[in-house]
Amino acid sequence: MKRAVWITGVPAAGKSALGQELVNAMKREFREPCALVDANVIRAQFWPYLGLSPEDRVVNVKGMAELAGVFVRAGSSVVVACIAPDREARNRALGLVRVAAQDVAVHQVHVDAPYEPPSPEEALFVDSSKLSVGDAAQQILAYLEQTPPRAWA
């Protein structure tokens, strides 16, 4: 049975490194072809014009799914390493991979990276999920005007 594993998570969580290690392990364990579809590599090579807007992210995620589908139709298992922050777009992408071949098992893995955010005394918090880019920039400008610079040691 072919397998498709979609590794998702925040930037710099280790998705690419884990994806490559998983591909190597799957080749050894299952003795079958397996390929890595790394969004960092694929995006740079095929879609360098895509930005990080929600619309561009959807296009990127769909492209990763279509490429993964090519591998499973060709008889290979595949590991996809892609941020894919939007659940709906990710679920649509997983569905595309699922229908690419009759005998593919699709799995999703979330990788979390340790991140220690600054305290509220150290930094302004901007909730980009609730603000437009323009509103966030305005919030930062107001912060810059009102807050004296801090001496970092």
User: Is residue 115 predicted with pLDDT exceeding 80?
Assistant: no
Alpha-carbon distance of 45 to 23, in angstroms, equals: 21
Alpha-carbon distance of 148 to 131, in angstroms, equals: 24
Q: What residue ranges define each of the domains in the chain, with the CATH number in brackets?
A: 2-111 (3.40.50.300), 116-153 (no CATH)
Alpha-carbon distance of 81 to 46, in angstroms, equals: 16
Q: Residue 124 gets which letter from DSSP?
A: -
CB 21 within 8 A of CB 29: no
Give the residue-averaged pLDDT of 80-101.
92
Residue 123 DSSP SS3: coil
Alpha-carbon distance of 67 to 61, in angstroms, equals: 10
Beta-sheet strands, E only, within the chain: 2-9, 34-38, 77-81, 104-111
| Closest to 30 (Cα-Cα) out of 78, 81, 96 | 78
User: Is residue 122 predicted with pLDDT exceeding 70?
Assistant: yes
CA torsion angle 111 130 94 46 (round to 10): -90
pLDDT value of residue 148? 79
- Supply the pTM of this predicted model: 0.80
User: Is residue 23 predicted with pLDDT exceeding 90?
Assistant: yes
Give the residue-averaged pLDDT of 102-108.
91
